[in-house]
Structure 1
Amino acid sequence: MAFELVKLNYAYDALEPVIDKETMEFHHDKHHQTYVNNLNNLIKDTVFEEASLEEILTHLDHAPEDKKNGIKNNVGGVFNHNVFWESMTPGGSKEPIGEIAKKIDEKFGNFEAFKEEFNKKGAGQFGSGWVWLISDKEGNIDVIATPNQDCPISCGKIILLGNDVWEHAYYLKYQNRRAEYLKEWWKVVNWDIVEQRYQNRNHNECSCGCGC
């Protein structure tokens, strides 16, 4: 079962002026597609050939030793970007809703303090990586950053929201101004999907064939 590049739910220019059309085209059609192609090649004739992205990410110890790093990097590249595209919507949805809004207030005090912590972690990630709002199955939330294409679900966490801080995500418009990109990005966040992910945090079960 070969993975395919996900289709965007909006036009390439729909997130402007926050993210420009050219960046979206390169990011989705080139960078993300490359991760998809690499992953399909790497998992051929392995235990992961019929597995889902989630199953691969949570069972990386079953990867062939000579392919382990490649599979880890590319399955993260595919999954993380899938989350990223879905985390955004034209015009954004302004503020958190439902249970996740309450959890953010409980954890961080208020929405502005949460955004400050998220932006701080994203700006402070050395080199390439991601910044995330995550949850555990009990519903406890936190903000973390991860390097490269590392994915929080490999450590048993549930992704609620993620922003890409690799330079290819913002450099054409913002150059070295990552902090400005992080600040502007809130204008396109899809809080409906964040709440949906929080509500569904206990609904993922493993059915892979890797002997777990």
Structure 2
Amino acid sequence: MNIHHTKHHQTYVGNINKAVEANDILKGKSIEELCAAASALPPECATVVRNSGGGHWNHTFFWQCMAAPGSTNGPSAELKAKIDASFGSIDEMKNKFNAAAAGRFGSGWAWLGQQEDGTLVITSTANQDNPLMAGIAEPCVPLLGLDVWEHAYYLKYQNRRPEYIANFWNVVNWDYVNGNLK
């Protein structure tokens, strides 16, 4: 994860910062605003915002989704009730999340998010796209995200993406996920 953070994520940060400095259209916007506007930007800005801006936002979110094993209390009563209402059980939510993560062809992300009507949804995005980007995935506010690019797991898990995904549940920062729900 050190290489992942200091090399991959840092490259996204550097590239989006250069793009913001070079394009007046992008200046003064938060990373969330940039991601939300990605599909409406001129082509010369849209690609760098989707790739580097999305990469920066996704990774910043991802780091917060993890904590030391056993250091958080699990889903709050409110989150558990929403998971049960949307998926039937926590185990079924995990199964659907795992399937979205494992089924992502190539590089991308799996997401647990909340839709406007309050229901929860699981979706997956390619590359550095995310649910903040219009027309990319099921519209939702991300609550939990998992990086399924090979660089996220290859040094430890090689080509065993399902094992990486299964072990992710041991480090989920439920306190962060619970906070995102609020």
TM-score higher than 0.5 here?
Answer: yes
Q: Which amino acid aligns with 1:160?
A: L
Residue 70 of structure 1: aligned partner: 48
Secondary structure of 1:150's match? Answer: coil
- Which residue is equivalent to 2:57? 79
Q: CA deviation at 1:61?
A: 4.2
User: What is the aligned partner in structure 2 of residue 9 from structure 1?
Assistant: none
Work out which of the residue numbers 148, 159, 164 in structure 2 matches 1:181. 164
Q: For 1:87-98, list aligned pairs within 5 A.
A: 87-92=65-70, 93=72, 95-98=74-77
For each residue in 1:60-88, what CA deviation from the matched residue of structure 2 results, as whole angstroms up to 9, or x when unmatched? 24533223212211110000001100001
CA apart distance, 1:98: 2.6
List structure 1 runs of 4+ shifted beyond 4 angstroms: none
Distance 1:58 1:48 in 2: 12
Which of 170, 175, 181 pairs up with 1:192? 175
**Alignment counterpart, residue 172 of structure 1, candidates 134, 142, 155:** 155
The aligned residue for residue 36 of structure 1 is 13
**Alpha-carbon separation, structure 1, partners of 2:93 and 2:73:** 14
Asked if structure 1 preserves the Cα contact closer than 8 Å seen for 2:104 and 2:124, the reply is yes
Q: What is aligned with 2:3?
A: 26
Helix, strand or coil for the counterpart of 1:46?
coil
Q: Could you tell me whether the CA contact under 8 Å between 2:39 and 2:133 is conserved in 1?
A: no
1:94-113 → structure 2 map (5 Å cutoff):
95-113=74-92
Letter paired with 1:36: V
Q: State the SS of the aligned residue for 1:89.
A: coil
More helix by share: 2
8 Å Cα contact 2:73/2:175 also seen in 1? no
Q: Relative to structure 1, is the Cα distance of residues 143 and 61 closer, same or farther in structure 2, using a 3 angstrom cutoff?
A: closer
Asked whether the 8 Å contact 2:62–2:146 carries over to 1, the reply is yes
Deviations 1:81-130 (Å, cap 9, x if unpaired)?
01100001111436311311111111111111111111011000000000
TM-score (norm 1): 0.79
Aligned with 1:114 (options 72, 82, 93): 93
The one-letter code of the counterpart of 2:75 is P
Please report how far the alpha carbon of residue 54 of structure 1 lies from its aligned counterpart in structure 2 after TM superposition: 0.8
Structure 1: which 5+ residue stretches go unaligned? 1-23, 200-212
Shift of 1:195: 1.2
SS class of match (1:133)? strand
**More deviation in 115-124 or 89-98?**
89-98
What is the total number of aligned residue pairs between the two structures? 176
Task: Give the CA deviation at 1:53.
Answer: 0.6
